[in-house]
Amino acid sequence: IYRLGNDDLTYEKKHELNLGLDMGFLNNRINVTFDWYRRNNYDLIGPKRTMGIGGEIYKYANVASMRSHGEELTISTRNIETKDFKWSTDFIFSHSKNTVTDLDSRANIMQMITGTGFTMNGYPVRSLFSIDFKGLNNKGLPIVVNQDGEETSYGGDLYFQSTTTDYLKYEGPTDPTINGSFGNTFSYKGLKLNVFITYAAGNKVRLDPAFSSSYSDMTAMPKEFINRWTQAGDEAYTDVPRYISTESELYNYNYESMYAYSSINVLDATNWRLRNLSLTYRIPASVCHKLYVKNARIMLGMENVFMVAKSSNAKYLLGGYAKPNYLCGVYLNF
């Protein structure tokens, strides 16, 4: 038996109101669409910790309610239209926000701070929380706020399995609150150039942990070690703590986590990407006739060309250093 039956579980429910407006100007050279929505979600399904009666510590239940609203604006324009040259633009702006209004399930500290996006009542459904970082002490150890509201550099008084999460610092949602795109198409005779840009903002990401209790040949020297604390006084110039081996008397089993999941390692994920760049050539009809095809096109393009983010670390976490995909194709219509 993989999981026991749950007769109390019921469907998720939603009340939704949508309002929309479509407008066209100058013989539809300019088209504007605006949509607004408001949703109330009930009986949302999620894991819930129980006392273990019945054989399961965690079981799925209707644990939450959520309120959300958003707007979306679309503007499409035909900027230039001549016999040989055309230029059109499509712009999309989308904003959304959600808040958990009732939650009958509590995550522990480690679940809240690892960056996967857990929540508390009154916050977005996927939120990022952190241990509040206050700098380094004169021994190079991170100073953080513990569950009693006190500043401490001793990780042993942080209990990461605790469900007392009120002292954590709220960083923001892990999902963008603003999304959109900006596309332009240029046509000249048989050539067509397409430039498509996307953007996102309003969310946070956490740096991957640099400190560990053990290292391999691939992880022995993370770049953060270059600026780490090495002697008294360095705490005035760096936020990167000293390295402590497991044999040191200063070592604590929470040492790596209290720094890795602190507020100092949270980044703004605002970015924009050149998502697609392509050039298409439409082969003249006279040539197509000789090739016994109705029409034909040749396309060269790139996907995920480059990204601009607020920092190099954020760009890395968002996949901005991945190599672009190169595309080429021949389209024949017989």
10 Å CB burial of residue 184 (0-12, 13-18, 19+) is middle
Structure-token pair, residue 261: 């999941």
Percent of the chain past pLDDT 90, that is, above it, reads 53
Per-residue pLDDT tens for 225-260? 888 999 999 999 999 998 888 788 877 778 888 888
Q: Is the pLDDT of residue 111 over 90?
A: no
Q: What is the DSSP string of 82-140?
A: -SSEEEEEEEEEEEEEEEEEEE-----HHHHHSSS-B--TTS-SSEEEEB-EEEE-TTS
Task: Give one word for 4, left, alpha or beta, with left for phi > 0 and alpha for psi -120 to 50.
Answer: beta
Give the pLDDT confidence score for residue 143 in this predicted structure.
92
Give the pLDDT confidence score for residue 16 in this predicted structure.
95
The single-letter DSSP state of residue 131 is: B
Query: With bands split at pLDDT 50, 70 and 90, how would you rate the model's confidence at 14?
Result: very high
Q: Which one is predicted more confidently, 6 or 67?
A: 67
Contacts of 14 (CB under 8 A, 6+ apart): 39, 40, 41, 42
Q: Which one is predicted more confidently, 171 or 159?
A: 171
Structure-token pair, residue 170: 């709220």
The single-letter DSSP state of residue 235 is: G
Helix (H) or strand (E) holding 315: helix 312-317
Per-residue pLDDT tens for 62-74? 989 999 999 999 9
Helix (H) or strand (E) holding 73: strand 58-81
- What mean pLDDT comes out for the span 295-314? 92
Proportion of the chain in helix, strand, coil states, percent, rounded to 5: 10, 50, 40
Structure-token pair, residue 133: 């970082």
Nearest to residue 202, comparing CAs of 90, 308, 310, 102? 310
Contacts of 65 (CB under 8 A, 6+ apart): 40, 41, 42, 43, 44, 100, 101, 102, 103
State how far the Cα of 123 lies from the Cα of 170, in Å rounded to an integer: 9
Give the pLDDT confidence score for residue 109 in this predicted structure.
84
State how far the Cα of 54 lies from the Cα of 75, in Å rounded to an integer: 56
Query: With bands split at pLDDT 50, 70 and 90, how would you rate the model's confidence at 19?
Result: very high
Give the pLDDT confidence score for residue 60 in this predicted structure.
84
Q: What is the pTM of this model?
A: 0.85
Mean pLDDT, the chain, rounded, equals 88
- What mean pLDDT comes out for the span 118-129? 88
Give the pLDDT confidence score for residue 117 in this predicted structure.
61
Query: With bands split at pLDDT 50, 70 and 90, how would you rate the model's confidence at 47?
Result: confident
Q: Is the pLDDT of residue 157 over 80?
A: no
- What mean pLDDT comes out for the span 276-286? 90
Nearest to residue 239, comparing CAs of 134, 125, 314, 105? 134
Instruction: Give the length of the chain.
Output: 334
Give the pLDDT confidence score for residue 29 in this predicted structure.
93
Give the pLDDT confidence score for residue 52 in this predicted structure.
76
- What mean pLDDT comes out for the span 153-167? 78
State how far the Cα of 254 lies from the Cα of 152, in Å rounded to an integer: 12
Query: CA distances (Å), 188 to each of 85, 87, 185, in order?
Result: 5, 9, 10
Q: Is the pLDDT of residue 115 over 70?
A: no
Structure-token pair, residue 106: 């509590």
Q: Is the pLDDT of residue 160 over 90?
A: no
